[in-house]
Amino acid sequence: MKIVTICGAGIGSSGVLKVNAERALRALDLEATVVAADVSTVKVVAADAQIILTTQEFVEAIGKTNADIIVVVNLFDTSELKQKLESALG
């Protein structure tokens, strides 16, 4: 499974989101490759992704995609991430 985290520059928020998503996946005992990217590359990077993790600001720019988009509010809230990943994958 592939998960892509998206932010504006592909280095800050998406990096934090990647680290914390990996933490949540470990806690859920799920395996996935998590890739951080900037929104301008989303069409290419997320072409084969099941899930896109991002914040509200980028939903419109991401546009049409086959992946499930999960919108995260607090990037450090592992329980929020766990719950949202679990319901998307479950």
In the set 24, 25, 39, 85, which binds other proteins (CB under 8 A)? 39
Q: Which is nearer to other proteins, 48 or 57 (CB)?
A: 57
Q: Is 38 in the site for other proteins (CB under 8 A)?
A: yes
**For the residues of the chain, what is the DSSP string, one character each?**
-EEEEEESSSSSHHHHHHHHHHHHHHHHT---EEEEEEGGGHHHHTTT-SEEEE-GGGHHHH-S-SSEEEE-S-TT-HHHHHHHHHHHH-
Residues found near other proteins in the complex (CB under 8 A): 7-13, 15-16, 18-20, 23, 36, 38-39, 55-58, 61, 73-78
